[in-house]
Structure 1
Amino acid sequence: MVSPERKFFCVTASSLAQEVHAKEPPQSTKFLPKDVVLYQYEACPFCNKVKAFLDYYDIPYKVVEVNPISKKEIKWSDYKKVPILKVDGEQMVDSSDIIDKLFQRIHPENPIPDDDEDKKWRGWVDNHLVHVLSPNIYRTTSEALESFDYITTHGNFSFTERIIAKYAGAAAMYFVSKKLKKRHNITDERAALYEAAETWVDALEGREFLGGGKPALADLAVFGVLRPIRYLRSGRDMVEHTRIGEWYTRTESTVGESSRIKA
């Protein structure tokens, strides 16, 4: 029997038979930044939205992992959230705004897509999909610990902070997730996640991507915010119990390898 993990991470036989999708061409010659730095939390869905865009457009970038306790890495900024993107010294904030600005610079001859469908689904990502994630990844104490094991392993923590954050953070977020569940009128966490996944697949209307033959900004946004749960039980369950797996695998293949510059 094929495990959910294998379904989630490997290209299935059916997807191998499909046409190989290429990334967008290299960024516009009018936009060749020399230094792009992303200040992030590895597990942050909004940071992963920005990374999906940078990866798809093959824009090399460095990553600075922010310590969520001290936030010393962003002391220089008046903005105290992530993501923060510095492009040749210019600060950009808010994931959707960052993507809009980058898109304009990559495509100076075209305005930001004013496609009502793309705009609608980008808004759905920010206003609905992201709110379904926390109640799922912290749904039970074991899932909360699994999530914080990933967060602390990939995050910028000292050894002591890692131990404290894993157990204290998992306990705290388990209870916070219950409040978030109530705030966003979620009665069944997994049902809400599955419904969101199916809603997105329905929006595709049989197309490979919302953008047709290549990802729209909304495709990159959905893929980006789902990417942090790819190693978690919630993500495995989502792929096993909904139709989103084929689209996810196709988008993952199209976005391609990370454009991150290793330190």
Structure 2
Amino acid sequence: MTKISTRSLFDLLIQIGIILALVAALFLAFFFIYLPFTTNHGQTITVPDLKDLSVDEMQNLLDDRNLRYEVSDCTYVSGKQPLTVLQQYPRPNSKVKEDRKIYVTIIRRIPPMVPMPQLVNLTFQSAKLNLRSLGLEMGEQKYVPDVAKNAVLHQLYNGKEIAPGTQVPKGAKIDLEIGDGLGSTMFEVPNVVGLMVDEAEAAIRGSNLKVGTKISVADPEKEVGTVVRQHPEARPGERIRVGETMDLWVVGPVESDQ
């Protein structure tokens, strides 16, 4: 009776050991074989650089790496090849799981339309900033005689003046006519010799001219501050254009306009 009980106990322990071994084997197989196989545990894929690739090239590259893509945005970029990748997320060289979706921004073929801004009477610098903010490009700049130096006088598209608010394609080149600070009107040179310097300056500016260099000279016969010479000189037939400069020779010390 005692021998039978011992053998039975031994057999029972063997069965329990077999069961525990099977459980352990199943446990290890689940976590180290099945689970990694179904979830790609510990396996990553390096995201390739898709920038500037065409849509077909991008798709082939992602297919080879078991990755997918989705177009998250389309935008127009002047000078860039249409239907190519502009941006991507995740970024190149990122580590991702298989079948991960890569979000891309594609450059569109047809540019959107934007309203032409009002550039006339703005400074050239302000006009450039306005164009840039709307995605428009600076075309040719032509300087023409006008007292408004560096002011925009005319805005043109395809050689024709374009009114503010007119729809133009993004990336369009806008040509500008800009004042050179010199008017086109010609008139006789005013004579300021013999005037006091402040009177002469007022007369020059009143003629839409600019006061240039003031040169100090000595002349004991003239009152200090008297203009004794000017350039250009007020000779018969001598003409000057609006916006040009007149230099003055003044008796005694002169103050700089700086």
TM category (shorter chain) comes to under 0.3
**Structure with the higher fraction of residues in strand conformation:** 2
Q: TM-score, normalised by structure 1?
A: 0.19
- Higher helix fraction (1 or 2): 1
TM-score, length of structure 2 as denominator length: 0.19
